[in-house]
Amino acid sequence: MSDVNGALRVLSPVTGTAMSLETVPDPVFSQSMVGPGVAVHPEPGQEGGQESQHEAVAPIAGTLVKLHPHAYVVMAPDGARGVLVHLGIDTVQLAGEGFVLLAREGAQVAAGAPVIRWSPGTVAALGKPSVVPVVALDARPEALSEQAEGAVEPGEALFLWE
């Protein structure tokens, strides 16, 4: 989804609270080493005494160029802008436990399309932070504007990438 001047509107992939990327307990993200962005702190949620599953969705329309159980990158149709969604911190160490792929690498995805089903509560119970960094890869910090703060739902605007 783009606005008229070519800016890319990046959507929240998960339900939670949008906060500064500086709140992420990992210097790769908190110091914007891979790019600027916004962190979403998910709400774990319970359903019938069981930890509920959540769908993480594509933050932009484009090509799913990388897909791992814990992270994915969607490249915009312009081929110049990619957005990384990382489900939790150090979750690569979980070897896929608690994550179900709903799409395939190389697929074209619409903004808001489900990519991975996961459980933030399970991630936290396994000793990993469940925060979700959403990063504009290799962008300049000043290229981002209209950064969301507070409660967000999947598909709601998280930031604008000029």
Q: What is the C-alpha separation between 115 and 65, in angstroms, rounded?
A: 12
Catalytic residues, by residue number, are 86
Residue 138: partners with Cβ closer than 8 Å, 6 or more residues away: 34, 35, 82
Give the dihedral of Cα atoms 136, 95, 154, 31; nearest 10 deg: -30
